[in-house]
Amino acid sequence: MTTTYQRQDDIESGSDARPRRAPAVALAVGAVLCASALAMHLRGGVDDVAFVRRVAASPDAWLAGHVFMGVGGILLLLGLTAVPRLVRGRGRRVVGVGVTLAGVGAASSALGDVAHGALAYVLVGEVEAEQSLHIQERLFTQPLLAAVSMPALLLPLGMVVLGAGLLYSRAVPRPASVLVLVAPIAVQLGYMMTALPMPLMVLPLIAGVGWLALLVASAPQAAR
């Protein structure tokens, strides 16, 4: 006869096996938001003043892209914390380093992007493009703000390290590791070579991180 204690043990055991849906959703949604923001962001090819004028021509899209990047960065930070649990032994330390770098970069990018996007947005129509550029440069070169925003460069570096660690660990399918590894490289190429369509260059980010999200979702929780 099944006792109350046995039933309770079964319930707790089933609870331990529940998929990691929250980090998986955070990873997937974060990747889509960041990719959308990157695809929406204006690219170079003009001088700084002309760039500010281009921002002024579509301020709502500018702000939306930076908000997407801010929210997406935080979601990536939350979701990436579950990725090291996919790896046991080989490559685990490298994956941990990659997650740490990418997490710090994602948090910094989220803060910096929202601040930059909001500032440029509120200056539209209030001052001339030259003055807007001067204000933005003065603000974001302040030591405190520079210290907060500069670590954003760790996000692409962390994703490369993470992809390399996953590839070395063999804990996830090789195509998933390669997509994570090349995602930041593809984004950088998209910004450097404006002839490349940016929506195409962000696809490795969506595919690679989305694949990781599926793997995280299917991984059982560790026993308590």
In this structure, the dihedral spanned by the alpha carbons of residues 173, 178, 179 and 185, taken in order and rounded to 10 degrees, is: 170
Residue with tokens 């994602």: 106
Instruction: Show the tokens assigned to 201.
Output: 């260059």
> Full-prediction pTM beyond 0.95?
no
What is the Cα gyration radius of the chain? 21
Inter-CA distances, 125 with 15, 122, 128, 139, 152, Å: 55, 8, 7, 19, 29
Query: In angstroms, rounded to a whole number, what is the distance separating the alpha carbons of residues 135 and 129?
Result: 10
Query: Is 193 in a helix, a strand, or coil?
Result: coil
Handedness of CA 55, 59, 63, 68 (dihedral sign): negative
87 Cβ neighbours under 8 A, 6+ residues apart: 95, 165, 166, 169, 171
Residue 202: what pLDDT? 95
Query: Could you tell me the residue ranges of all domains in the chain?
Result: 21-217
Q: What is the pLDDT along the chain (224 residues), one digit of tens a residue?
A: 444 434 444 444 444 445 568 999 999 999 999 999 998 887 766 678 888 888 888 889 999 999 999 999 999 999 999 999 999 888 999 999 999 999 999 999 999 889 889 999 999 988 898 999 899 888 888 888 888 888 999 999 999 999 999 999 999 999 999 999 999 999 999 988 878 899 999 999 999 999 999 999 988 665 43
| Single-letter residue type at 185 | I
Centroid of chain to Cα 182: 14
Residue with tokens 């992007």: 113
Contact 166/87 with Cβ under 8 angstroms?
Answer: yes
